[in-house]
Chain A
């Protein structure tokens, strides 16, 4: 279980997170939604220890990640898998080397074992025949699938997805969501998805949270949220420009 407790973060004079608190249950698929610029990605960076909050705590198995030093944090990070927005594949490595990278860095597996695991994961994401290609030779969807293979190859306990389908066509989006569902069904991992793709996350999430003005303003199962009468949630779900959320 991971718990975010009263997290505050501001950049210069701009308040991004204002007492954000929530809890994510082990083995669940939880989606965090919000407008662009609502602070979702900052929250993700804080949860994985890439950014320090001004105050507040991130609890994981009784440890506050905010107070850990780098060595202690790295021991926890080996349990994480992260799919970054654009895949964040290393330009100088091909797809196979990218997927093998965390295994080579974190484990003492033999080259043969690593190769088998890489093949297995590339097959799962449909990139087995593209292993020798470099990131610059891949489409956006292929980059995300390769990033997904790299995020899952170490069999992490907790996987974070930062906008896994942004900028993709509807078919590729569905493919990515199906892959997320399929891999989650295979292993008991906790998935945290950060997205503003309402329709997509509704289908695959156990729980959805809505972040607005730095706070969680709504939280519940997808069906509960879709029946919510809260004007803010309704506006967010319908995507209407009229309502309590105003675009500056």
Chain B
């Protein structure tokens, strides 16, 4: 009887712990979704913060371009090498171009560019907003009758959603340039065969699917980064923890949503 009672007490505490975790997750998810809706809605309300918006477009887009070009080129090069390794066994080396193009357009371009931007931009967004929260700059905005979500979150979110598809395109293009260079100069694949493979097998829908994914990844990255930063507490340590969580959660959500979207659009 005593053992049974002890077991039920342990079970109860486990259930309580699980409920706490689930309710905590749901409340954070709800908070982040509410913030996202408010931020996207208020972006179209005056006053229009064009300067802030352009500043974030530059930071997220232009300043990430070099990183995206470099990582994209090397991803294309290594994918060409690995693709050749497999195709060579079946004498289908001419399909290397098509394989790399499909992989870059549908998966590698949107996913890896989003992960790179999460590391560079998402972390910075969380740290900046978290620091503003901890130094009362967000309170100062509210006390001046300025909506901090409209001023701080909206431009970041919209700039991310617009920029990510462009970065995915740049990633894909530089990846194709890298793959072409490796395939034609190192693997001795005929340039005409490389290009005709792409023309024959890559469809416009492959590119649009990739772009849709990039839009969703931009939304996820900015939503998590802004939410974690906006509500960061606990001084500089708290900002550090929030930044780490933002990067980890964004990256995981990007990969999960990638699978879900691929399954839907397959």
Residues in A lying within 8 Å of B, measured CB to CB: 45, 48-50, 70, 74-75, 77-78, 80, 82, 84-86, 88-91, 101-102, 105-106
A105: contacting residue among B132, B135, B139, B146, CB under 8 A: B146
B139: contacting residue among A50, A75, A106, CB under 8 A: A50
- Determine whether the beta carbon of A91 is less than 8 Å from that of B142: no
B135: contacting residue among A49, A74, A82, A88, CB under 8 A: A88
Q: Could you list some 28 contacts between A and B, CB below 8 A?
A: A45-B139, A48-B143, A50-B139, A50-B142, A50-B143, A70-B147, A77-B144, A77-B145, A78-B144, A80-B143, A82-B140, A82-B143, A84-B136, A84-B140, A85-B136, A86-B135, A88-B136, A88-B137, A88-B139, A89-B137, A90-B137, A91-B132, A91-B137, A102-B144, A105-B47, A105-B144, A105-B146, A106-B145
Query: How far is it, in angstroms, between the C-alpha of A89 and the C-alpha of B137 when the chains are bound?
Result: 6
Given contacts A84-B136, A85-B136, A86-B136, contact A91 B131 (CB under 8 A): yes
The minimal Cβ–Cβ distance linking B129 to chain A, given in whole angstroms, is 11
- Determine whether the beta carbon of A106 is less than 8 Å from that of B144: yes
The proximity string for B residues 142-159 relative to A, scoring 1 for CB distances below 8 Å and 0 otherwise, is 111111000000000000
Query: How far is it, in angstroms, between the C-alpha of A77 and the C-alpha of B128 when the chains are bound?
Result: 25
Query: How far is it, in angstroms, between the C-alpha of A227 and the C-alpha of B119 when the chains are bound?
Result: 61
- Determine whether the beta carbon of A84 is less than 8 Å from that of B139: yes
Closest B residue to A75 by beta carbon equals: B145
- Determine whether the beta carbon of B139 is less than 8 Å from that of A101: no
CB-CB under 8 A from B137, the residues of chain A are 88-91
CB-CB under 8 A from A88, the residues of chain B are 135-137, 139-140
Closest A residue to B142 by beta carbon equals: A50
CB-CB under 8 A from A50, the residues of chain B are 139, 142-143
Taking CB atoms and an 8 Å cut-off, the chain B residues in 187-227 that contact chain A are none
The minimal Cβ–Cβ distance linking A140 to chain B, given in whole angstroms, is 13
Closest A residue to B55 by beta carbon equals: A92
Query: How far is it, in angstroms, between the C-alpha of A74 and the C-alpha of B144 when the chains are bound?
Result: 8
Closest B residue to A73 by beta carbon equals: B145
The minimal Cβ–Cβ distance linking B142 to chain A, given in whole angstroms, is 6
Query: How far is it, in angstroms, between the C-alpha of A90 and the C-alpha of B136 when the chains are bound?
Result: 9
User: Taking each of A48, A49, A82, which has the highest tally of chain B beta carbons within 10 Å of its own beta carbon?
Assistant: A82
Closest B residue to A77 by beta carbon equals: B145
CB-CB under 8 A from B132, the residues of chain A are 90-91
Closest B residue to A98 by beta carbon equals: B140
CB-CB under 8 A from A86, the residues of chain B are 135-136
Given contacts A86-B135, A91-B131, A91-B132, contact A74 B140 (CB under 8 A): no
Query: How far is it, in angstroms, between the C-alpha of A77 and the C-alpha of B139 when the chains are bound?
Result: 12
Query: How far is it, in angstroms, between the C-alpha of A75 and the C-alpha of B145 when the chains are bound?
Result: 7
The minimal Cβ–Cβ distance linking B111 to chain A, given in whole angstroms, is 31
CB-CB under 8 A from A45, the residues of chain B are 139
Query: How far is it, in angstroms, between the C-alpha of A155 and the C-alpha of B144 when the chains are bound?
Result: 13
The minimal Cβ–Cβ distance linking B214 to chain A, given in whole angstroms, is 27
User: Taking each of B135, B145, B146, which has the highest tally of chain A beta carbons within 10 Å of its own beta carbon?
Assistant: B145
The minimal Cβ–Cβ distance linking B40 to chain A, given in whole angstroms, is 18
Query: How far is it, in angstroms, between the C-alpha of A49 and the C-alpha of B140 when the chains are bound?
Result: 12
Q: 12 new A-B pairs (CB below 8 Å) besides A78-B145, A86-B136, A105-B145?
A: A50-B143, A75-B145, A77-B142, A80-B143, A82-B143, A85-B136, A88-B135, A88-B137, A91-B128, A91-B132, A91-B137, A105-B144
Query: How far is it, in angstroms, between the C-alpha of A18 and the C-alpha of B137 when the chains are bound?
Result: 28
The minimal Cβ–Cβ distance linking B180 to chain A, given in whole angstroms, is 41
The 10 A-B residue pairs whose C-beta atoms are closest, nearest first, are: A74-B145, A88-B140, A88-B136, A77-B145, A84-B136, A82-B143, A102-B144, A78-B145, A88-B137, A105-B146
Closest A residue to B131 by beta carbon equals: A91
Closest B residue to A162 by beta carbon equals: B136
Closest A residue to B138 by beta carbon equals: A88
Query: How far is it, in angstroms, between the C-alpha of A78 and the C-alpha of B137 when the chains are bound?
Result: 17
User: Taking each of B140, B146, B147, which has the highest tally of chain A beta carbons within 10 Å of its own beta carbon?
Assistant: B140
The minimal Cβ–Cβ distance linking A87 to chain B, given in whole angstroms, is 9
Query: How far is it, in angstroms, between the C-alpha of A88 and the C-alpha of B144 when the chains are bound?
Result: 12
- Determine whether the beta carbon of B136 is less than 8 Å from that of A101: no
Closest A residue to B144 by beta carbon equals: A102
Query: How far is it, in angstroms, between the C-alpha of A80 and the C-alpha of B144 when the chains are bound?
Result: 8
CB-CB under 8 A from A102, the residues of chain B are 144
CB-CB under 8 A from A80, the residues of chain B are 143
